Amino acid sequence: MQNLDSLRPPRHPVDPRAVRWWTAQALVWTVPPVLLLAAGALIFAPARPWLLAALAVVAIPSALYVAFMPRARYRVHRWEVTDDAVYTSAGWIWQRWRVVPMSRVQTVDTVRGPLQRAFGLSGLVVTTASSAGAVRVQGLDHRLGADLAEQLTEIAHAHPGDAT
């Protein structure tokens, strides 16, 4: 049995396809406002200077976000499941590292949104008996996510405790 007192970073990176998934997500959120402002600048000549200024204010940070966020997230996001705990590391600006003892695991859910499915990915949501809330592992290969959910359920079920 592993000692939970010896804290260490989780060992496994997310699937490399997560970079493309996060890039697609970023584009879904950033492209529509940029296109709307660009179209407005073309159509409404009297407001063109203001719309072009707004376009620059929106487009430049959006481009930087799309270019850098996915790779930054990939460098940080890690996960690991042992017989004793679930370890996660996430975030690209505010990084969060969590260790959840198996005795605190209440439910394990798989999540596959439309973009995740398109990239062959899934995520896990491990609900815990903790005020910090659920632990999420995003960007897993869909088969690995299903196997991991099954493994976590079996380990949590076999682990003593009532998850409270």
How confident is the model over 22-31, as pLDDT tens digits? Answer: 999 999 999 9
State the pLDDT at residue 1.
Answer: 45
Between 153 and 116, residue with greater pLDDT = 116
- What tens digit of pLDDT does each residue of 65-84 get? 999 999 999 999 999 998 88
Q: Between 48-76 and 17-43, two packed helices, what is the crossing angle to 10 degrees?
A: 180
